[in-house]
A and B are shown apart, each in its own frame.
Chain A
Amino acid sequence: MIAHWQGNGGLVAATALGLVLLLALPQVVDPVMMIELTSYVIMAILALSLGLIWGYGGILCFGQSAFFGIGAYAYAIAVINFGDSTIPLLLSIIVPGLFAALLGYFLFYARITDVYFGVITLTVTLILYKVMGATSGSQYVIGTAAIGGYNGIPAVPPLNFPGRPDAALSFDGLFYLSGLTLLAIYVGLRLMLKSRFGQVVVAIRENERRAELLGYDARFYKLATFTIGGAIAGLAGCLFANWGMFISPDVFGLAQSAQVIIWVIVGGTGTLLGPIVGCFAIQWIATKLGAQQVLNANLVLGTILIGFVLLVPKGVVPTIGDAFRRLKFRPYVAPLVEQRRVP
């Protein structure tokens, strides 16, 4: 799609730029902004997970925050019990991955349409919100961790060096860890999408029936993509629980689910850079909105979502990419076949 970026040169350049930003930002940005910035980076990982399954897998998941929240809860509950954070970190990836696999099995193998898929995933998230909210009281305890209903789990212990619970991660450390994770997942996904597996996933997005007639089981590939996306979202949830040292059912709320969708649609589906850019932009706007009282944040986010669906359905990054290419590489020629867009 963006051919001149998909050479390995582009990937190396993007990685180098990411590393430079990662090292330089803490030197030039003030500490309060660093706290905000760390949360943006963590949310960008979540955005990337949806960017994979929606933009490349063609799977319209409205409940990506479900896996994010499950990852966060899995980490919080396990780390309170174990003390050492190594196994909890792994659990925060495995548990949401398994949950995604189970849900995906029922939905993909039933071959329900993508519209139903969106609704069911949204419903799952809303019901998780209620379930986790209903767990206040002393009977809802897993090991030594009280789940706490709508009050959430406070004082979640931070990540530590594997095997040494006393060597806890500092806040700067969390920024570096989150940034490296984002970079690693970005590079990993780029490589995965170039692999045979990734090519099949994209082929299924482009034309599911044709891919099946060529012998690929679309259900399996979709399930695999969905599971990978769920696991990545869970890892982001683990980092988020570290960031706030707190986790509550709000991660399953309608607003959180909508935000992930907005990041991806604003940044652009079908790219990996788009969701990250969209996430940073919208988060920054949301921070600014939170600081004033005139306009309700939901009002603005809703307007942005409607506006982008109606006016800029491809998202910012692909739109800029198209304009750039038209300008630079060749005179604009109307394409013979309308390019298939992933909405």
Chain B
Amino acid sequence: MADTTTDKPAEAAAGGDERLAHRGPIQTLLTRPEIGALLGAVGVWLLFWLVSAPFGTVGGTANFLDVAAYLGLMAVPVALLMIGGEFDLSSGAMTGATALIAILLANDINGAGLGLHIAVPLSLAFALAIGWFNGTVVEKTSLPSFIVTLGTFFMLIGAKLGFSKLFTNKVLVEGLDEAEGYEFWNGIFGAEWLRNNHLWDTRTWSNLWIVRDEMWALLLIGGIAALMIGTFELTYARRQSPNVAGLVVAAGGTVLALVGLIYLLAQDGTTSNWIGGILVAAGVLAKVAGWCRFRYEAPDRSERGTSARWWQYLISGIAALVVSMIIAVVMDATDSSQLGFLSGSFGKFVFALGIAAVGVLAVVAALGRITPGYPMFGAVLVALPTISFLVTVQAARVILFGGLALLGIMLLWSTARRVQPAVTVSLAISAAIVVLAFFIQSESASRKLRVELFTVLLLVALLLAASAVARYLSAVRTTAPPPPQFGRWMHVCAALGVAAVVVFAVIELVDGDGILYALLTGVAKGGIVGFVAYAVGTVGRTLLTRDEGVGRALVTVGIGSVLLSVATRLMFVTGSELETICTVGTDGELRCPQTQFGVVVLSFLVFAAIGSWLLMRTQFGSWIMAVGGNKEAARSVGVPAARTKTTLFMMVSGAAWITGMLIAFRLTAVQANVGDGNEFRYIIVAVVGGNLLTGGYGSALGAGIGAVIWGMISQGIGFAQWNSDWRFLVLGALLLVAVMVNNYVRGRAEKAPTASAATRPDRTEIAIVVPAEPAKGAKED
């Protein structure tokens, strides 16, 4: 025994770790709990975008974001509470309760007449008190929070109905807009952002419309480029001495891509589209190749593809795709006459071939060398002429094209699975996407598909191809990249940003705008200034220094740019839109139909951001996960479990207060049953977003994405003009799919890096870890 303990090398026993490779950024992303929800959201968006005209417009987006925001505002804190291992069933009823209390206390017709300056803070105090009560009772009694908050839930419902009837003799409490202080509070909770009203003022900056038009596209392209380079930085090993020739190629590629892009935008026509597109693609690929040569270690080529026959799959896959495309081009899509192969000489030839094939097969079978593939082949040959009597040219074209394209993609996928490194995978998928894009373009009559989806698909294919090139040319990191060393520059950015916030806010205030509005635009503009400084610093460091930590900063810049791009698109009217939807009045002023974004959307986004930051980056976040994952363990290392949980309950009720106020100021009159029953929606949305029902694991951002999915589905059904009776059926099915995708993706990503096949423990294992006998005396805090 002594031998085992002292002489044996520790490495042998801890062997699993040696085989654990460094996780690349993509793989790390795939293990995030919200990834399934994110993919689901993209899928749902695409679905409704395809089937409905107004869904993808700014108006449609404002519409579903509004629904999502009311839900997500609550779902984020509810998710945090769930991660902390508790539920709050009173959260839905609480939203209505705070609204009722505020109105009843404030108005002097049938309420207490205290005015809103007292009533609004009082309703907050009430909400926090109930949250504190929920938390304390759950902690002191050790009862399941399910039961405790169910009690508060019923008490709130009863009280809401009772008090409304008592004061107003109705179930509808109204008169908020007549209460004292309405103007002030409505400026906060009732505020709305009118699209294109601000930031770049239409009148003074009208000659810069063109800049704004290109702005969102530029931000998007820049963001994607930063994301891609950042991912490369995180994934590939840095070269010792940079290769200058590579840099020249990269610069040349960039110029080529830009020239192509400008040509594409300037010219209009099929030929110029082809030329421009090819220039852009070639430029991007050259740029990526040059950059990788310049910057990253070349890979070790000694490890080649493992499966010998992968190239057979590759060739047959590509052949199938090519044949499918030829069929798509050669056969007439509008011809609805019967195929009738047999009427022409070609048909007779095919028929003869079929008969001959059957004969050959019979001989082969007689020789006893038959495999299952041959009879199937023969059956197809025989069936072909027969089917040709029944099917029209149109239908045959679709069947043949679709079948062959599908077969080709499956074969390419098989190739992909057989080959290491993964370069072929990306190239194969990229090729398949290009084929799909051209097919869609040739088949569809709708502009949306022919132009927009076509362009997006080509771009995706290009990105995939570029990543394949990078993967082929560069060696993968074996160690995690070091943290970025940005210390001083971060301070400069922060100082610039804060200064800009102050300056812009003061300018708006002097201009005579409301205080909330001035603050918000100030923060937005100041944030942009800080972000630009950060982006400039990051790009500079990437090009000029050897800091290996820039990858993470580049990814941050990329995500920021993409988000800014989306915000720009949603917030500001583009020049082309102005031409089509706006009119110039007799007084020379421009009048545009305006889309409104309620302050609720902003609150939702802020909540999702703060919630994510709290959970991922702060001590409190660690404590939330710990008390939800294993309360006794958390307690034994000094985490104040009771305080953490009570704070979580109070955060939920605080968010309920904000939601209640937003509802009250939007409607000015509130039904006694407002919000009742929503608590389950919050929980469902949180689960869709990847939060574990049993606690200890999840994502605040995921809950936000879940809310957006819910909003898209519930509004999208209306936009698509489907019968809304089926709404819940669709909703249920899509939610189920979302959760299953989530589970599947996470399971795959978790399994991949660990050779020892240890996976994330599921519920049963957590249950074992929970102590059978909780330690007495460790109870306080």
Same complex origin of A and B: no
A residues near B, CB below 8 A? none
B residues near A, CB below 8 A? none
